[in-house]
Amino acid sequence: MAFCNSCGASLVQGTRFCSKCGATIISSSPAAPSAASATGTVVSPPVAAPPPAQSSGGGALKAILIVVAVIALRQQETRLIEKAEIVLADANSSGTRS
Ligand SMILES: [Zn+2]
């Protein structure tokens, strides 16, 4: 059973207008006209993102990942420095040779 949003009168299912006050009926039934959506159907609020479930386990894992990333970056850095030193040494040796 539907009710008028304006006057609260009981309405026959599928009617578009209130027989008492003549207000447009916003019905959730599938038979409702498309105009109902234009007048404003009830839209469910956006679902809020769930809070982080595991605070301790996730944090520890994150810290480990950060440490590993930092170590990897430092290893790359040292490798680059070693390479640069080798290149410089080669340049020096070749320069002295010729
Ligand atoms: Zn009414």
What are the tens digits of pLDDT across the range 19-60? 899 998 865 655 545 555 555 666 677 777 777 665 566 788
Distance 89 CA to ligand 1 centre (A): 93
Q: Among 51, 54, 50, 72, which Cα is nearest to 62's?
A: 54
3-class DSSP state of 17: strand
Distance 37 CA to ligand 1 centre (A): 19
What digits encode the pLDDT tens for the residues 6-22? 899 988 887 888 889 99
pTM, whole model, 2 decimals?
Answer: 0.29
Tell me the percentage of the chain whose pLDDT exceeds 70.
70
Cα separation, 24 vs 34, in Å, equals 12
Distance 45 CA to ligand 1 centre (A): 27
Distance 73 CA to ligand 1 centre (A): 71
Cα separation, 40 vs 17, in Å, equals 15
Residues that place a CB less than 5 A from ion ligand 1 = 4, 6-7, 9, 18, 20-21, 23
Cα separation, 86 vs 62, in Å, equals 36
